[in-house]
Amino acid sequence: MTSDDFRRQADFVRAIPLEVVLTSWGALRDRQDTSRWHTQRGPLSVTGAKFFNWHDSRGGGGAIDLVMHLGGWDARQAIRWLWRRLGCHGAGVNPTAHKRVDADTPSSTGSTSNSRSASSPGRSAPLRGETDGNPTRRHRHQQLHLPAASFANLPRVRGYLTQQRGLSAAILASLIDSGKLYADGRGNAVFVMVAGKPNRPIGAELRGTGNYVWRGLAPGTSKNAGYFWVGNRGSKQIVLCESAIDAISCFQLHTQIHGAPLPADCICISTAGVRPDAPWLHPLLARGYNIYCGFDADEPGEMTSRQMNTRHPTIQRLRPPRHDWNETLTSPNP
């Protein structure tokens, strides 16, 4: 990142409302005094863009100062956190309002927002076999609304993903630390989808973790613009999977199993449903990546794999040994 890029990021996130920052940090607003917030650093008073900590007798102004105070970080660390977590709130700008598709080496990011909840099943279409035609056109006038993070619900999400889906705690910790995975206010797992080197969030896959397990997309998600990914950035091997959980499962299998068909440094990408030709696929092929179609071993997965191979003959089929990669991971003999 150049110094100009860094200054632009700083200017962009500085104007994020302090209430948004505090909510995403896990602070609680006082029920009696709405200008007072309870944080791990003690109670804060917030007036507009100014804040003051009565325990430390310290204050400041703007989102960057606030995160520096809450985290004990320097300015660069605070700006990076704000950009990854709350970039969609900066100066009221919608970071997804880009018509150009950024396709580059997969890059990590995270983001939350203080918007209305995106986790209602009635609002989010199912991922599997989604046939909306053109997701970019469908969401062209809809601003991205990523659900706000809930640190209180993170143990629930961790428990679901490790105990019920068999995912590695170490891999999940890495995804959480990098902002690619978090919990929302309803206890859903939020897998952030990004585009290009700017780490720009373009949407999220949502997965319910309660008794009623469902999956959907955050409102305003543009599947054509990017994807959720996990793996080692320097790898030239990419496996396309149908969901974020399958992508993590596939990566975990190839990391842990000796003699797996792909090297342990592969990258696994979620296409958020079966589709044969995402716009970012061709640029990845042009950059020399060896791409495998790892869709489910069922009729939609096989059919879409054949269609993909017809359009891109260099893409090879990598069939999960079981129905999908997560079922393979959780089976007694994967």
- Pairing mode, strands 290-293 and 316-317: parallel
Residue 129, domain member (yes or no)? no
The residue written with tokens 């640029």 in the block is 283
Give yes or no: residues 65 and 211 share one domain. Answer: no
Point out the domain boundary residue: 60, 92, 124: 92
Higher pLDDT, 151 or 245: 245
> What is the per-residue pLDDT for 260?
55
Structure tokens at 327: 């079922």
> What is the per-residue pLDDT for 245?
97
> What is the per-residue pLDDT for 14?
85
> What is the per-residue pLDDT for 115?
33
322 phi and psi angles, rounded to 5 deg: -105, -160
Residue 97, domain member (yes or no)? no
What residues make up the domain containing 140?
Answer: 135-330
**Is 285:293 a contact under the CB 8 Å cutoff?**
no
Q: What total of structural domains would you count in the chain?
A: 2
Query: Residue 90: which pLDDT band, with cuts at 50, 70 and 90?
Result: very low
Query: Residue 263: which pLDDT band, with cuts at 50, 70 and 90?
Result: low
Residue 171, domain member (yes or no)? yes
pLDDT digits over 117-173, tens only?
Answer: 333 322 333 343 333 334 334 434 468 888 888 888 899 999 999 999 999 999 999
Higher pLDDT, 200 or 272: 272
- Pairing mode, strands 215-217 and 200-207: antiparallel
Which amino acid type is present at position 168? S
Q: Residue 167 is part of a domain; what is its CATH number?
A: 3.40.1360.10
Give yes or no: residues 158 and 291 share one domain. Answer: yes
Give yes or no: residues 139 and 34 share one domain. Answer: no
Give yes or no: residues 308 and 245 share one domain. Answer: yes
Number of Cβ atoms within 10 Å of the Cβ of 277? 12
- How much of the chain, in percent, has pLDDT values that exceed 90? 36
* Alpha-carbon distance values, 253 to 53, 180, 181, 291 (Å): 47, 20, 19, 17
